[in-house]
Amino acid sequence: MKLWEKGAAVDAMMSEFTVGADRAMDVRLARWDVVGSIAHADMLVSVGLLSALDGARLVATLSDLLAEIDSNGFVIDDGVEDVHSQVEQILVERLGDIGKRIHTGRSRNDQVLVDLKLWLRHELRTVRRAVVETAGLLLDLAERHRDVSLPGYTHYQVAMPSSFGLWLGGHAEALIEDLSVLDMAIHAANANPLGSAAGYGSTFPLDREATTRALNFDRVHVTSTFAQMSRGRTEKLAAMAIAQVASTLGRFASDVVLYMSQNFAFVTIPDAFTTGSSIMPHKKNPDVFEVMRARCNRLQALPTEIQLVLGNLPSGYHRDLQFVKDRVIPAIDEVALCLAVLQHVVPHVQPNPSIMQDARYRYIDSVDRVNGLVMQGIPFRDAYRMVADAIANNTYDELPAAPSGAAQAHLGSVDNPGIDELRTRLRRAL
């Protein structure tokens, strides 16, 4: 069944090629297609395009279908083009001609738009909650390990003292910042396109504000042309949010992979979270974080992929836009999976409390030595040269130690990682 069929035979290869993965993706949109149809049916009754009795029967049948979807899932039959066709076919099977009235004042263009926006709004909010939970978990771990020393590196060279509190807090803060990008994407999805029809409105007296209220959108797309142009644009903004979160997760995963290597030995992971080698008995590989890094790196390509689909399209609907759907839906699943796996594994990452005893960190407090000399009245550049010469001449241990009780007291430093401030920001984000 195809809603656009006019009786002429359709070439089978052409049909399969143009449908692509739509049926598989549309199953995910089914409940939202029904939700949108309920709001549309109610609106048709309110403007006199559908009798109250017919509207009530449509809404009741759609409500039953919604309950069936939530309990048992949804199947698109072979030969049925998409979710919209399947839902309408079910309505016709159960209600006869009344079911055919559901498409009044609507096009598949605004129908798929409302499905996608409702689905994206729901799924992005779910991802947002997972990001908040993950940031909170990292802050809990930062608090637990705040005083465990960790060498800081720049250019892959030993730099200055850090701590696990500072490291974990930094990744938590990145996730808190990522929430603003997610909020941008959620805002883009939170606009009602129903009533824009094929992109140029309708001669029917539709009440677009009524469906906006019914579907709890925070606004209506004013122009029918922009409503249509939001197809692809909304998904691209969602992809940018996904990519931003993936960037943060991927960077954290990369840190753990590095820190687990024997050359660093900053952290350990229980055997249950590692894999082995087929020929090297000693190997314990951090595959879970390597796979997470790869998944997250791949997700960061998503905005570019979508932009390449949109790049040379004029305004109006084009079939090209269908091939954005089968990228953004799996991508949201994947970033949600990465967040869930990180929450499952990261509490088991154990810091090494004796890292700083290694001789390679002999000079890691050189900046503190410089600052100690400055506190004694020596100009900074002279103090810097004195410490550099002592390192070069192997007389570093003869330098005055950093002042007793010296601490990095400012916000965001080793001795004051700002965990409470980050918790406050996270609470505000809720």
Which residues are tagged catalytic? 155, 277
Residues, the chain, total? 430
Report whether 75 contacts 174 (CB < 8 A).
no
Whole-number Å distance between alpha carbons of 363 and 245: 36
Residues 6+ apart with CB under 8 A from 402: 365, 368, 369, 371, 372
Report whether 228 contacts 317 (CB < 8 A).
yes
Residues 6+ apart with CB under 8 A from 290: 253, 257
Whole-number Å distance between alpha carbons of 195 and 312: 26
- 74's tokens: 């949804």
Q: Which helix (H) or strand (E) holds 351?
A: strand 350-351
Of 75, 137, 58, 45, the C-alpha closest to 348 is 137
Residue whose entry in the numeric block shows the structure tokens 């096009």: 107
- 385's tokens: 């040269």
Report whether 163 contacts 414 (CB < 8 A).
yes
Report whether 350 contacts 267 (CB < 8 A).
yes
User: Strand (E) positions, 144-298?
Assistant: 149-154, 157-163, 191-192, 219-220, 267-268
Of 138, 125, 121, the C-alpha closest to 426 is 138
Q: Between vectors from CA 263 to CA 287 and to CA 346, what angle results, nearest 5°?
A: 40
Residue whose entry in the numeric block shows the structure tokens 């449509």: 58
What single letter denotes the amino acid at residue 240? M
Query: What is the separation of C-alpha 56 from the centre of its chain, rounded to a whole number of angstroms?
Result: 38
- 115's tokens: 């499905």
What single letter denotes the amino acid at residue 242? I
Identify the DSSP state of 76.
P
The string over 370-387, giving b where at least 16 C-beta atoms fall within 10 Å of a residue's C-beta and e elsewhere, is bbbbeeeeeeeeebbeeb
Whole-number Å distance between alpha carbons of 139 and 418: 10
Report whether 226 contacts 315 (CB < 8 A).
no
